[in-house]
Structure 1
Amino acid sequence: MITLITVLIVIASIALILIVLVQNSKGGGLSSGFSSSNAIMGVRKTTDFLEKATWGLAGFVMVMSIVCVMIKPKTTYTLQPEVGAPAPVNTGAPDMSTTLPGLPQAPAGEQPAQQPVTPPAE
C-alpha cells in the first residue's frame, strides 16, 4: 500500500512540476497562446484550470504524504552488542595518547632519534 501511495505521489509531483512550468508568472503562460477571444475554453478559463490543477495537485501530494506516514508500520531500533563481542570499556577520560601504534617509544624526557629516510630501491 505504501508503494502505491509513493508512486501516486511521484506521478502527482511530476504533473505538478509540468503544470507550474506551463504557467507564466505574469498571467501569460499557456493562455497567451490563445490570442482570439472566442477560443474553445477561453483565455480566462485556461488560467483558472491551471490554477485549480496546481492547488489540487499540491493538496493531493500533501494529503498523500501524511497518509503514507500514518499507515507506515512503526519500527523500533535497539542497539544491542554482538554476541561474543567484548563490551566497550568507558573510563570516562578521553584518550590523550600522542603516539602511533607500531612505532618505537622514546624514554620520557628524551627526543626520539631522527631516522634517515632511504628511497626505495629500483
Structure 2
Amino acid sequence: MAATDELGALGPLLQEYEQVEAQMADPQTLGDPQLMRRVGRRYAELGRVKAAADRLSSASGDLEAARELAAEDRSFADEIPALEEEEAAAHEALVKILAPRDPEDAMDVI
C-alpha cells in the first residue's frame, strides 16, 4: 500500500507516543495531578493511534506474506481477498483516528 497524505503525520505521532509513555513514568509527572491528567489524556489519544497503526502494519504484512506464498502454494491465494479487506478496514480506521478533532471534545462538561 502506498503512503498517503493522511498518514503523513504518523511518524511524529508514534514518536510522541513513546515520549509521553516515558513521561507517564516520570516521578515529577506522577507527583503533579494536573500534569498527570493532561499527560494521561494525551497518552490515551496517542494509544488509539498506535493501536490503529499496529493493526494496519500487521494487516499489510500478512497481505504481503500471503501474496508471496501464493506464488508457491495456491491455497494462500484464497486468503488474499479477506486480507485485502482487513488492510482496507485498518487503513480507514487509522485515517478516521487521524482526522482533526474538535478541541472542545476534550473539555470537561461541568
TM over 0.5: no
The structure with the largest alpha-carbon Rg is 1
The TM-score normalised by the length of structure 2 is: 0.41
The TM-score normalised by the length of structure 1 is: 0.38
